[in-house]
A and B are shown apart, each in its own frame.
Chain A
Amino acid sequence: MRPVRVFLVGNPNCGKTSLFNAVTGERRHVGNWPGVTVDRIEGLRKSGDVELIVTDLPGTYSLTPASPEERVVLEQLDEISRGIILNVIDAGNLERNLFLTMQLLELGLRPWLVFNCYDTLRRTGAELDLEKVARLTGCPTFATVARSGEGVDELCTALAASATPREASADTPAMRLPRPWQTAVEATLPAIGAPDWPAATPSMRLDAIQVLIAHPGAPATAAGAGLDPLREKLLRSLESAGDCVTGAGGLPCRLATDRYDRISRLLKACHRPAETPVEDNVSPGLDRFFTSRVWGLPIFAFLVALMFWTTFSLGALPADAIEAGVEFLRHWGAERLSPGLGRDLLLDGIVTGLGGILVFLPNVLILFLWISLLEDSGYMARAAFLMDRLMQMIGLHGRAFVPLLMGFGCNVPAIMSTRLLDDPRQRRLVTLLMPLVGCSARLPVLVLFCGIFFPQNPGLVLTALYLINLLVLVGVGRLLARLMPPLTQAPFMLEMPPYRLPTWRSLRSMLWDKTWHFLEKASGVILAGTILIWSLTAFPREVPLSRPYAAEISALRTAPATPETAARIADLESDMARETMERRYMGSLGRALEPLVRPLGFGWREAVSLVPGFLAKESIVSTLAVLYNPIDKNLGTAMRREGVTPAVGFLFMLFTLLYVPCLPTVGVIWRETRSFGFTLAATLLPGVLAWSLTFATSLLIGAAAPTRAAATATGAGSADTVALFLTIGLAVWYLVRRLRADLAGESPCTSCQGTSCRIARNDTPR
């Protein structure tokens, strides 16, 4: 099988990932905002005896990078040039998309030009002569509609049949650098220590161009300094100054103008714009509404409230059916299986635990559906635009809003998407805030507790909790931003893509993916955790009890059956179950952990449930289900009977919302930052914060209604409490210091976040 390497290159949001999915059959995440893909992704397609190895790269407006995701393309330029470059061009926005094409052509590359979203162009009544484009540029041309798959097969066939010619054919000089420029660039090559033009790699050629146009006053590289005569000669040999004002920005402006001149010559020859320019008139209309100065923010707030409210209310509709299903399964199992440890594990452990979280799958899906709708429609970019000013108040860039909103779905991809932020300190700040964003895995706990303890208006309490979550984010963000002000005032340049209706295909595949992911998690981490938790509740088998429950119960059973004896039996049974579990391993573990959360009013069961929550937040619910199962099959009844009040329930929700990032999140923080200290800080900070905030709230609520906490906390002894507070204080002090050092880049760090990177970032043109 012959491998052919294919690279997708193009502007942000031009449909590269859609095309990638259409070619490879993968289901990568697609959104309608610039910057969805932040890293290279590979996929395969077999076509005859050829294997296409397709690489999707982050979108970039130009080969001069402005953010880490854009740098990916530049870093791999030489590798890319050895394969086939598919330059994806949004046919609805030809001029700006062709800028990158011009850059590629200048370097002597021969990209294949794929005009995507071709239906948009056709719909407006415009025409593009693809054959003529091919003739003028010397590049093969294709028209595709990646969303529907139109034109994709033709493209694949051509790819499979291709050899990989690297150099542009010599007879298309019209699209390449004009003679004076070419001469000057060739003369620059030796100055940067590169071989002459034919032998130079594309990245060397690009370096030469960038060094050449760096204006004389810039702190350019050593090589740049000796080039002034060359630059003057170039300026003299260029025709009239045109509109560009010579001076500081002379050469970059001249080059950009020349590139756009070439584009307009190409378009004049091949493109017939619509007779009456039908500008997409839906987007301006919607924008008058969605980004209105008056209504923009209220509409935004309404949408977010609607999102969380429907997540609860619509998600609760199928819950009864799922619960009934689980109940049926339990009954069915209890009747068929012979009593024993195996049955207990299956029914009291696995079915109870997993059944406990399966109920919340609809809620999770609805939340993801909303986030996906916001992304696919193009509203995300508007949200960033609306929120920019508010975000600046907490020291963040408007763009940072997008990762934060995505974080409500799942923290892991959200942290990866922080790469679309230019400023390294901003990225760290958002990464640090991310674990405080209540992701969908925490939703089951919230939905469960809201339903049990606030049956009158669970949706309202849920929305209130998310509001508190937002306030915490604002508060912590402000504080951190004051400690570590951003290094640079990152510019706000954000394209507003046209609104698009999300396709059924993408929604369906998203829902399927999330369902699959949920089940995968449930059958992996959560299942393992549940089994472990159940085992701890089941061993040691024989424990000493305070009174002979079994004998008393059987004595009562022999007595005549009256309502009183039945109630007495039930009480004794649940007392026995409670005491048995308290004396098993789980009870010891609970007692060991309880002091940590006792000041917050939580019992030992809650304390234990927080531990597997570190692996996956859904496990909190499955653990509680297993632990409360002996008390009563209904979790709500069991918790109330064990003295959990609505106030404690509320505190527990608050704590769960914030307390710790899950293991995959810790992993992605480590991979993105490569800093041990930062990862540790990002893991522990939420815990300290959650504890303090919950404790403060418990004092507020507790003053009005003394909770169980007050009763048990007296036993803790004041010395313990003092020690606890001292420890927490020390931890906070250490974390703040550590964070300052880390974010300031003062601590030794092997990754590209340090000072060397900062210099490179400031666009000394490479």
Chain B
Amino acid sequence: MVKMNATLADLQIGETATIRDIDASSPTGNRLLELGFIPGTPITAVQRAPMGDPATYLIRGYRIGLRRSESSLVAIHPVRRAA
């Protein structure tokens, strides 16, 4: 995925990316910051729900479920696919 404005919602299952920025103008963005979604933090997409949404992510050693509407608030650095 070589997309400059990639968000967490674009992250494929099993991939790990680094958080680049977060839209903190919304309450949800603020809450994500408090949960540790701050720039520079690595995050892994773990699993998608049966109907494609929400998905679970692994961040700072815990798992959290987010819908596309939340994960798209989190900008990530373009993923370099592991060889």
Closest-CB distance, A188 to chain B (whole angstroms): 18
Check A244 against B31 for contact (C-beta < 8 Å).
no
Given contacts A218-B25, A291-B47, contact A252 B31 (CB under 8 A): no
Check B39 against A493 for contact (C-beta < 8 Å).
no
A260 to B36, CA, bound (A): 7
Given contacts A294-B50, A385-B49, contact A493 B34 (CB under 8 A): no
Given contacts A215-B24, A291-B49, contact A64 B34 (CB under 8 A): yes
Check A253 against B22 for contact (C-beta < 8 Å).
yes
The listed residue (B22, B62, B69) touching A489 by CB distance below 8 A is B69
Given contacts A96-B35, A248-B24, contact A389 B50 (CB under 8 A): yes
A99 to B33, CA, bound (A): 10
Given contacts A61-B31, A491-B28, contact A245 B50 (CB under 8 A): no
Which A residues, 245 to 303, have Cβ-Cβ distances below 8 Å to chain B? 245, 248-249, 252-253, 256-257, 260, 279, 283-284, 287-288, 291-294, 296-297
The listed residue (B21, B47, B53, B69) touching A491 by CB distance below 8 A is B69
Number of chain B interface residues as a range: 35 or more
| Tally of contact residues, A, Cβ under 8 A | 52
A765 to B34, CA, bound (A): 13
A384 to B48, CA, bound (A): 13
A contact residues around B33 at 8 Å (CB): 249, 252-253, 256
Check B31 against A62 for contact (C-beta < 8 Å).
yes
Given contacts A96-B62, A99-B36, A291-B47, contact A249 B23 (CB under 8 A): yes
Given contacts A61-B31, A386-B49, contact A496 B24 (CB under 8 A): no
B contact residues around A388 at 8 Å (CB): 49, 53-54, 65, 67
The listed residue (A92, A244, A389, A495) touching B49 by CB distance below 8 A is A389
**Interface check B12, CB cutoff 8 A:** no
CB-CB nearest in chain A for B37: A256
Check B48 against A398 for contact (C-beta < 8 Å).
no
Check B24 against A492 for contact (C-beta < 8 Å).
no
CB-CB nearest in chain B for A296: B50
Check A245 against B38 for contact (C-beta < 8 Å).
no
A contact residues around B61 at 8 Å (CB): 92-93, 95, 279
For B51-71 the 0/1 string (1 means CB < 8 A from A) is: 111101000111111110110
Closest-CB distance, B79 to chain A (whole angstroms): 17
Check B50 against A491 for contact (C-beta < 8 Å).
no
Which A residues, 80 to 123, have Cβ-Cβ distances below 8 Å to chain B? 92-93, 95-96, 99
Check B63 against A493 for contact (C-beta < 8 Å).
no
B contact residues around A252 at 8 Å (CB): 24, 29-30, 33
Q: A: which residues have CB within 8 A of B?
A: 61-62, 64, 66, 92-93, 95-96, 99, 215, 217-218, 242-245, 248-249, 252-253, 256-257, 260, 279, 283-284, 287-288, 291-294, 296-297, 381, 384-386, 388-390, 398, 489, 491-496, 762-763, 765
22 contacts between A and B (CB under 8 A): A62-B34, A64-B34, A93-B60, A93-B61, A215-B24, A242-B40, A243-B39, A243-B40, A245-B39, A248-B24, A253-B33, A253-B39, A284-B46, A287-B56, A291-B47, A291-B56, A292-B50, A297-B50, A492-B67, A492-B70, A493-B65, A495-B64
